[in-house]
């Protein structure tokens, strides 16, 4: 693994009323824009979700986040990526890639999943390295080493707190989106020598990163 990223500084928490008003302002757009790297909301730990939104507003927010994620397109979206500083993320991966690629990357389908206040920890010592991109850092991808298996604890929209294991690509998605909620971008953890512009990434779009390692020297 690369060295831990510096811990971002938390901003002063917003009141429940301020959070609710801000969410309504974001939801006023049919499809809110995804904020890009450089926006402060991406560099501050998000506030825990503790019922700041009523059930209807939370449902509308989750539906909007899912639509934004699909439209991007992406396989995960954290609330700060649409400017909302709450520990909320949505995930979904249809897994519609070539079977050989899916096997090499341990990428099964991941059903729509909502994470409220997620935390994760490595489960076992194995790590996996592959290219990641980010909807808030458009135009580039870089290799990130992450634990292959994790155990995540999070709350579901119905209020139940669960602990679940994830491995392979689903584990990578959970880690990437949870990092967003901590004010961390994938580039903070990346092997920067692997950085590849989308215009050049076709060279390294292989089931594994072996060719990229040889070509870029990382």
Binding-site residue ranges for Fe cation: 134, 176, 180
Pair of tokens at residue 54: 């009523």
Annotated binding site: 134, 176, 180
Helix (H/G/I), strand (E/B), else coil: 49:
coil
Of 49, 66, 57, 84, residue with least CA distance to 180: 84
The residue annotated as part of the active site, out of 92, 145, 167, 177, is 177
HSE-up of 142 (CA within 13 Å, CB side)? 19
Q: Positive or negative CA dihedral for 173, 28, 49, 51?
A: negative
Q: Name 123's Cβ contacts closer than 8 Å, sequence gap at least 6.
A: 147, 149, 150, 151, 165, 167
Question: Does residue 177 carry a catalytic annotation?
Answer: yes
Catalytic residues, by residue number, are 177
């Amino acid at each position: 693994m690369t060295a831990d990223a510096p811990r971002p500084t938390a901003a002063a928490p917003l009141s429940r009323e301020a959070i609710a008003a801000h969410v309504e302002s974001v939801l006023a757009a049919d499809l809110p824009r995804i904020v890009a790297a450089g926006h402060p909301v991406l560099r501050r730990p998000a506030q825990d979700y503790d019922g700041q939104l009523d059930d209807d507003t939370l449902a509308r927010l989750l539906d909007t986040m899912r639509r934004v994620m699909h439209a991007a397109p992406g396989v995960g979206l954290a609330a700060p990526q649409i400017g909302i500083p709450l520990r909320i993320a949505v995930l979904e991966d249809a897994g519609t890639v070539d079977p050989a690629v899916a096997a090499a990357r341990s990428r099964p389908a991941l059903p729509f999943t909502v994470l409220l206040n997620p935390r994760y920890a490595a489960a076992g010592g194995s790590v996996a390295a592959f290219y990641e991109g980010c909807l808030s850092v458009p135009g580039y991808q870089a290799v990130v080493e992450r634990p292959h298996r994790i155990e995540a604890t999070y709350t579901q929209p119905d209020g139940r707190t669960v602990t679940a294991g994830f491995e392979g690509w689903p584990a990578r998605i959970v880690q990437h989106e949870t990092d967003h909620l901590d004010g961390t971008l994938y580039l903070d953890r990346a092997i920067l020598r692997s950085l590849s512009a989308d215009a050049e990434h076709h060279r390294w779009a292989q089931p594994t990163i072996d060719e990229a390692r040889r070509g870029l020297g990382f």
